[in-house]
Amino acid sequence: MASAESSAIAGLRRRGALDAGTATVWLVLLGAAIFLLIGCLRSTAFAGYTIQGLALGSVYGSLALALVLVYRATHVINFAQGELAMLTTYIAYQLMQWGLSYWVAFAATLAIAFALGTLLQVTLIRPVQHRSVIAVVIVTVGLFILIDGIVNWIWGADFKVLQSPFGFASFDVGGVAIPHKDVWVIGVVLVSVLLVWGLFRFTKVGLGMRAAALRPAAAALVGVRVDSMLAIGWGLAAVLGAVAGLMAEPFQFSLSPTFMQPILVYAFAAAVLGGLESPAGALVGGLAIGVTLTLIVGYVPQIGAELQTPFAFAVLLLVLLVKPTGLFGRREVRRV
Amino acid sequence: MRTQIPALASLLVVAAVLCVLPFILSDYNIYLAAQVGVFFVAVLGLNILTGYTGQISIGHGAFMAIGGYTTAVMSRDHHTNLVVTMLMALAICFVVGLIVGLPALRFSGVYLALVTFALAVSIPFIPLQYSTFLGGVGGVTSSEEVSNLWIYVAAWTCSALGFVLAWLLLRGRLGRAFRAIRDSEIAAVASGVELPVYKTLAFGISAAYAGVAGSLFVLATNGFANPDEFGVFLSLELLIGAAIAGLGSLWGILAGAAFVGLLPQVSNSVPVIGHNQGRDVVFGAAVILVMLVLPDGFAGLVARLRRLARA
């Protein structure tokens, strides 16, 4: 009797019936959006910071989404996600050195990233996957160091410049200069995220991947190839990472073997903020962190560039203390 | 008691070898052996937390930073005896560990990993902001320099004391409580283990070990503490060391410490690939390979060999 009742409640929760916590989250987000809108209307500098923050935030968001994809499928964090993105960006650089145009190199890089992600999952992650979370984490940490070494070996540690087609010009909207670059970055990230979402939502492969992530055993019983689905998941994560890497490059103005490391840190924060399980949460988390940090660096000199990382984590810690599963995470009910 | 005789014998052999080593090795190799000792203390501490209590931490480099800066600043400002600064590092890190353990009561698994990772990322920025007290980019140099032999003796004395202490702690009531928490928090609470007390205590003890290791670490780099040497990489190295040693066992720690202490130094000049890159390629590949071949680290290997010998 009691179990039937509790499963009914769980069913309601799953269908997204609003509980108090979720409502508060939406209210806070709405409040933040209104605050940003008013700020942008009143001050051009504020608007400039906000747009730059949104562009940076979408980069953090797409890498965070890559982390979330891997986490949903295998319940581990891929520490090498940022380095993988860095490696694929170097591959794009190399392709352009060989004379390909930016967008051709872009497409080719995404294909290579997919193959690379799938290959890594099959060769390195699958053997340790069923062992323990920490074993997988250690393997990804090893991969982090290995990729760093390989990139340094092939391309060297000096800065490289990727000729991005975005230019340095900017639109003028009511006195606010909006760089073309920012618009392109937001657009590209948005399109790739929508494509990935569409893949998950509307295709049979996507359905299989969702099933494999949620109930691996049951999915296998109805004929889903769970192992292949997990490998494809890693491939897609690598593609999103490659997008993040290529879009992050214009903000750093150059390519170096360490250029994704700070971005990975913010992507972690974004993913956790969004609840780790939630793709939408990862994007919202990324945007929130991007905008907040840009505004903080712009307006609060006491915190400034030096303390922005500790500050971001202090905020993250506070959010987690209030809501331990992040903004959009669901509380897990565990049987003992 | 009978079953512990081989273990005791192997401990005595290791101790004897460690006593003889400084008379054989060159000065540079004594320095390398001392490094292994430093990592031994830190990996031992991390293993108490991650291996025995099941609380993953990717932030132990931060505790090492706190310990190291304690030693460097006290020595610079007050010319304090270095052993006293190590005890201070131990005390401060114990308290900080207890405080960091508090949020750990609410997080578990991956979230705890990310919170501690955040700690590891944030800590190196603190000296940059408070540069008058903590030296900024230039770092802090302690007033005393010690010889490699001094470090060697200090590191391995700390390792021996730490090992015995850990063994005594973990075989009794405390260790049982820790393992109960690792295996199932809910079952542990149901059996009367006070989760808040033991979880924060595990963090405190583990951080205290890391603090002493950090203090030794700074002394081993000519008493010089700077933000770069306490980056995220250090925390990752400790976790790698603990995993290669084998989580939840004290018998592989020497191997884990030697792996992270020696491999990057030894593989510094790899042919073909070159200087720094060679180190990263070899280290990264070795980590992955060891994890693929030895699932439970060296402790698991020892256990497997022992089973083979008995059969």
Those of residues 9-68 in A touching chain B at CB distance below 8 A are: none
- Two tokens, residue A173: 């909207």
Q: Alpha-carbon distance B289 to B59, whole Å?
A: 24
Q: Interface pTM (ipTM) of the complex?
A: 0.82
Residue A316: its chain B contacts at CB < 8 A?
A: 118
Model confidence pLDDT, tens digit, residues A205-264: 888 888 888 888 888 888 888 888 889 989 999 999 999 988 888 777 678 888 888 888
Residue A253 confidence (pLDDT): 67
If you measure CA to CA, which chain B residue comes closest to A74?
Answer: B110
Contact B288 A306 (CB under 8 A): no
Burial of A38 (0-12, 13-18, 19+ CB in 10 A): exposed
Q: Which of A312-321, B100-109, B161-170 has the highest mean pLDDT?
A: B161-170
Q: Alpha-carbon distance A307 to B161, whole Å?
A: 38
Residue B122: its chain A contacts at CB < 8 A?
A: 309-310, 313
Residue A107 confidence (pLDDT): 92
Contact B280 A148 (CB under 8 A): yes
Distance from the Cα of B182 to chain A's closest Cα (Å) equals 13
- For residue B295, is it within any domain? no
Residue B284: its chain A contacts at CB < 8 A?
A: 142-149
Size of interface A-B (CB pairs under 8 A): 131
Distance from the Cα of B304 to chain A's closest Cα (Å) equals 17
> Residue A14 — very low, low, confident or very high, per pLDDT cuts 50/70/90?
low
Buried b (16+ CB within 10 A) or exposed e, B85-94: bbebbbebbb
Q: What is the mean pLDDT of residues B79-100?
A: 90
φ/ψ bin of A162: left (φ > 0), alpha (ψ from -120 to 50), beta (otherwise)? beta
- For the cut 90, the answer to whether the pLDDT of residue A178 exceeds it is no
Residue B3 confidence (pLDDT): 60
Distance from the Cα of B292 to chain A's closest Cα (Å) equals 7
Model confidence pLDDT, tens digit, residues B192-226: 888 888 989 999 999 999 999 999 999 888 878 88
Residue A330 confidence (pLDDT): 65
Please give the C-alpha separations between residue A255 and each of A91, A247, B44, B97, B236, in angstroms, as whole numbers: 11, 11, 38, 38, 24
Return mean pLDDT, chain A. Answer: 82
Residue B273: its chain A contacts at CB < 8 A?
A: 149, 153
- For the cut 70, the answer to whether the pLDDT of residue A2 exceeds it is no
> Residue A164 — very low, low, confident or very high, per pLDDT cuts 50/70/90?
confident
- Write out the DSSP string of B96-154: HHHHHHHHHTT--HHHHHHHHHHHHHHTTHHHHHSHHHH-GGG-EE-S----HHHHHHH
Residue A12 confidence (pLDDT): 47
For chain A, give the number of residues.
336
- Which of the two residues, B34 and A41, has the higher pLDDT score? B34
Q: Any CB–CB contact under 8 A between A145 and chain B?
A: yes
Residue A313 confidence (pLDDT): 78
In this structure, of A128-142, A168-182, B81-95, B201-215, the range with the lowest mean pLDDT score is: A168-182
Residue A108 confidence (pLDDT): 94
Query: Where exactly are the structural domains of chain A?
Result: 20-322
Residue B102 confidence (pLDDT): 83
Model confidence pLDDT, tens digit, residues B117-135: 888 888 888 887 777 788 7
> Residue B276 — very low, low, confident or very high, per pLDDT cuts 50/70/90?
low
> Which of A86, A90, A119, A152 to probe by mutation at the B interface, max B CB count within 10 Å?
A152
Helix (H) or strand (E) holding A172: strand A170-173
Question: How many structural domains compose chain B?
Answer: 1
- For the cut 90, the answer to whether the pLDDT of residue B161 exceeds it is yes
Q: Alpha-carbon distance B58 to A313, whole Å?
A: 15
Q: Any CB–CB contact under 8 A between A273 and chain B?
A: no
Contact B106 A316 (CB under 8 A): no
Contact B111 A316 (CB under 8 A): no
Q: Any CB–CB contact under 8 A between B109 and chain A?
A: yes
- For the cut 70, the answer to whether the pLDDT of residue A13 exceeds it is no
- For residue B172, is it within any domain? yes
Q: Any CB–CB contact under 8 A between A133 and chain B?
A: yes
Chain CA centroid to CA A296, Å: 21
- Two tokens, residue A71: 């986490």
> Which of A137, A150, A278, A330 to probe by mutation at the B interface, max B CB count within 10 Å?
A137
Model confidence pLDDT, tens digit, residues A86-105: 999 999 999 988 988 888 99
Q: Any CB–CB contact under 8 A between A119 and chain B?
A: no
Contact A138 B113 (CB under 8 A): no
If you measure CA to CA, which chain A residue comes closest to B183?
Answer: A336
For chain B, give the number of residues.
311
Q: Any CB–CB contact under 8 A between A316 and chain B?
A: yes
Residue B117: its chain A contacts at CB < 8 A?
A: 268
Distance from the Cα of B22 to chain A's closest Cα (Å) equals 32
Q: Alpha-carbon distance B55 to A273, whole Å?
A: 21
Residue B274 confidence (pLDDT): 64
Q: What is the mean pLDDT of residues A64-87?
A: 88
Q: What is the end-to-end Cα distance of chain A in Å, rounded?
A: 20
A20-322 carries CATH number 1.10.3470: yes
- For residue B225, is it within any domain? yes
- For residue B115, is it within any domain? yes
